[in-house]
Copies of this chain bind each other. A is one copy, B any other.
């Protein structure tokens, strides 16, 4: 049993069961272990930074976060190559299968709603023949905008893992904070900061190249 300081639930912002996953990823925990720890009350769900004990990590489960976020980053790179804002998303089933991957296609499809998250959710729902993705996880390289955050809630996504914060257009941890109101009927567990640097670098490179053109 190890002790990990600085795990900060987002309670003050109205989120539930939310920890900064980067801190746990640093020690190789995956979501099953974090959830197990939450269920056993080994993580404090209060409103302030807290010391928290995390259950021992089974090595076989390590890297499950990381590999799905890597797949989302590959989608983001492909989007950039198409001239789209580089954001990628992956939907993963409760049993760990990748159900859909997508990158932004707003320009290609002439569709202002064709963000990576929306396309991945729609593709996963279509493939399952259902309008809800109960128990499913969504990995996305950038903090979702309010449109995508609300779509994630509508789809009943269980866990949202995202990379870089988006102070300019984000709708999860800033601005409208879509999940923090009573009008939001389903709040996923939220883990931020996964591969945030890689995601930021992709976005920065894309917009720098656009400015230079």
Is chain A's binding surface mostly helix, strand, loop or mixed? Answer: loop
Contact B154 A171 (CB under 8 A): no
Binding site for B on A (CB under 8 A): 106-107, 109-113, 118, 121-122, 125-126, 128-132, 145-151, 154-156, 167-171, 174-178, 180-185
Q: Are B154 and A150 in contact (CB under 8 A)?
A: no
Q: How far is the CB of A143 from chain B (nearest CB, A)?
A: 10
Q: Please give the count of copies of this chain that the complex contains.
A: 2
Inter-chain contact B182/A175, CB cutoff 8 Å: yes
Q: How far is the CA of A33 from the CA of B130 in the complex (A)?
A: 46
On chain B, the residues within 8 Å of A180 by CB distance are: 176
Which residues of chain B come closer than 8 Å to A109, judged between CB atoms?
131
Instruction: Tell me the smallest distance from the CB of A186 to a CB of chain B, in Å.
Output: 10
